[in-house]
Structure 1
Amino acid sequence: MNVNPEAFRTAAMAQGLGEADLNPDPVLQFQHWYEDAIAQDLPEPNAMSLATVDADGQPYLRTVLLKLYDRAGFVFFTNYDSRKSHQIGTNPRVALLFPWVALARQVHITGSARRISTTDSLRYFATRPRGSQIGAWASPQSRVISSRSLLELEVAAMQRRFAEGEIPLPDFWGGYRVEPTEIEFWQGRDCRLHDRFRYRRAAGADWTVERLAP
């Protein structure tokens, strides 16, 4: 593996992105670019911005981590009592952005977020470090707290509670799968004449590909 993001960026910008370069399946195209980001040792290549909208139409943006993906969608995990979860409950339409700036690449995804099964959430939860499992139980995500010491006291209480054995999945914690309706691949080019391709599909239809002006 030749890890040199600057050289990769220069070569990718010079080569550009043409329709002939694209996989007909946008998830396989994503996998190709995602593996490039991993191979170039980018920090947190699975970090993605998640945009939601509240009941008043106010957008919110935060970074979450992609943990699973397949043709059904892109999965992240969170507290089901968090602000993002309440907003998804009101309006499941969301957007994701993978900002691989060091490689002059972005992937933008729009679609709807749905909870995954408890079984699938449990399967992932069991792989988390024990400290992260404790943290999921201890943190009342998105709620106002008076101090960090209060949070640390709750962590200590959960450590005592689960001192032995496996830590169970909290009933307020689990995954969402973003089921995509559009996936756009953005490749930076010189003079801001970037290459952009958008995959779109209607319900039950095949993906179509369109080139967008930069």
Structure 2
Amino acid sequence: MDTAFFDSKAEQWDAHRTRVLRAEEIYRKIIAEICPQPYSKVLDFGCGTGLLGFHFVDCAVEVTFADISAGMLEQVCKKAATLGSGSVKTIDLTEHTVTEAYDIIVSLLALYHVDDIEKTVCGLASHVAEGGYLCLSDLDLEDGSFHYPNTAPHNGIDRDAVMNAARKSGIHVICNKTVYTEQKIIDGAVKTYPIFLIIGMRDTNRR
């Protein structure tokens, strides 16, 4: 599942209603734990078509969408062009790195696609502003069937690995919950895939 795979899927990505509903639910669970301020700068890492990040457009001063797929980012730009208000930026992670600090960094089902989870979490944490939040929602450890017959670098993620990397980077974990359960029919049987939400805060008193 490389950039070409996601580029090829980008145009029809949002046609899968499950993805849209999942992002809406994860957004609601994030907002239940934190309170975005009107001045907040938000980063949606591994954004895809921006299904999660666009929920923040009306309650933030700026939302930045970062991904390795040019096709996905093209869809983000098309959505942004229809907005009546809100500031949207994009980062192509194949050409640029994240350099700014953000009040809220979110990520939905992106981490298990990266090779080095600890390095990625630590890198994201380093861009959380003082008093800001790192909100990571991803797939719990599974047997590899979630993307069958395709594969990803990881069959889900060990939550402890995510939390340990965040804490190592000066982030205080304030939330670790199962917030969504995906169901799929595999070989005629219904399988469930829990999705977690880990939220950490950069507290100046804990650095």
Q: Normalising by the residue count of structure 2, what TM-score does the alignment of the two structures yield? A: 0.23
Q: Which is bigger in relative contact order (C-alpha 8 A, separation at least 6)?
A: 1
TM-score by length of 1: 0.22
- Greater Cα radius of gyration, structure 1 or 2: 1
